């Protein structure tokens, strides 16, 4: 996983748990890397999972809602780091539709050794969007969080029905989104 994700995690922990909590975690948790995460470098996925496990236990929050909360927190920060990707969008739906074909494609060009998930889309109605998520990492909680964060960013509430999940043996996670504002305006 890229260092940038660890950096956003650090921000999340410092703000949402307590200042100094990240350094404490680094002391407590046994990591494969040395814990000095910088954005452009790549670190073992296990380190991220170990940190998540540590906070889950410490805060008595299940890993899934924790990762989702992290995703929700992360999106505005990712958007701030890469303003080009949100420019021109006024609605979360049009933005989400570019995640697979544009954003992650560009991310792959900008950074070495990325492992990005696979998304496919269905667009059944203006106020709906179905996203199919596939990844070895099975980080659908992160996807959910990032989607909710997208809603926050564009100030449009989004409800998610995670009707099929890789963790329950599905081939892909089916995320059925409903945009509470009725979808992007057609002007």
Partner 1 sequence: MADQAEFERLQKLHRRTVRKVEVLENLIEEKTRALYQANQSLEQANDELEQRVDERTDELARALRVATEANRAKAEFLANTSHELRTPLHGMLGVAEYLVGTTQDPKQEEALDLILRSGRQLVELINSVLDFEKLDAQKFELELLPFSPRDLVHHVVWLFRERAKEKGVALEAELGLLPPFAVGDELRLTQVLGNLVSNAVKFTTEGSVTLRAKCLDPETQDELHSLPSVTSSVAILWQVKDTGPGIDERRRQSLFEPFEQAEKSTARMHGGTGLGLAICKGFVELMGSQIILESTVDEGSNFCFTTIHQLAPTKVTSVVPDLPAADGILTLVVDDNGINRKVAKMMLTRLGCEVEVATSAKDALELAAQQPFDLIFMDCHMPIVDGYRATQELLSRLGTACPPIIGLSATSDRTKEKCLQAGMSDFIQKPANLKALSTALENWAGREDA
Q: Which chain residues interact with ligand HEM by CB under 6 A?
A: 1-2, 4-5, 78-79, 82, 85, 96, 99, 103-104, 107, 114-117, 135, 137, 139, 142-143, 146-147, 150
Q: Where are the beta strands (DSSP E) in the chain?
A: 118-122, 128-134, 158-164, 173-179
Query: Total residues contacting partner 1 (rule CB under 8 A)?
Result: 10
How many residues does this entry show for the chain?
187
Q: How far is the CB of 20 from partner 1 (least distance, A)?
A: 4
| Buried-exposed string 163-172: b where 16+ CB fall within 10 A, e elsewhere | ebbbeeeeeb
Contact assessment for residue 182 and residue 90, using Cβ atoms and an 8 Å cutoff: no
Q: Which does 117 bind (CB under 5 to 8 A by kind): ligand HEM, partner 1, none?
A: ligand HEM
Q: How far is the CB of 71 from partner 1 (least distance, A)?
A: 24
Q: Which does 19 bind (CB under 5 to 8 A by kind): ligand HEM, partner 1, none?
A: partner 1
Nearest to 13 by CA among 5, 4, 22: 22
Residues 32-91 that bind partner 1 (CB under 8 A): 35-38, 40-41
| Cα–Cα dist 75/41, whole Å | 20
Q: Which does 89 bind (CB under 5 to 8 A by kind): ligand HEM, partner 1, none?
A: none
């Amino acid at each position: 996983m890229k260092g940038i994700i660890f950096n956003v995690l650090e921000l999340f922990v410092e703000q949402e748990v307590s200042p100094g909590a990240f350094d404490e975690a680094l002391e407590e948790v046994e990591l494969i890397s040395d814990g000095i995460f910088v954005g452009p470098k790549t670190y073992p996925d296990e380190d991220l999972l170990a940190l998540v496990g540590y906070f889950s236990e410490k805060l008595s929050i299940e890993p899934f809602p924790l990762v989702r909360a992290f995703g929700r927190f992360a999106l505005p920060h990712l958007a701030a780091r890469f303003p080009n990707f949100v420019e021109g969008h006024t609605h979360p739906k049009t933005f989400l539709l570019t995640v697979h074909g544009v954003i992650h494609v560009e991310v792959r060009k900008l950074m070495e050794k990325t492992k990005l998930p696979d998304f496919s889309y269905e667009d059944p109605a203006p106020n709906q969007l179905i996203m199919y998520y596939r990844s070895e990492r099975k980080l659908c909680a992160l996807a959910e969080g990032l989607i909710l964060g997208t809603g926050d960013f564009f100030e449009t509430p989004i409800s998610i029905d995670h009707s099929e999940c890789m963790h329950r043996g599905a081939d892909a996670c089916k995320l059925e989104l409903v945009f509470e504002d009725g979808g992007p305006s057609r002007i």
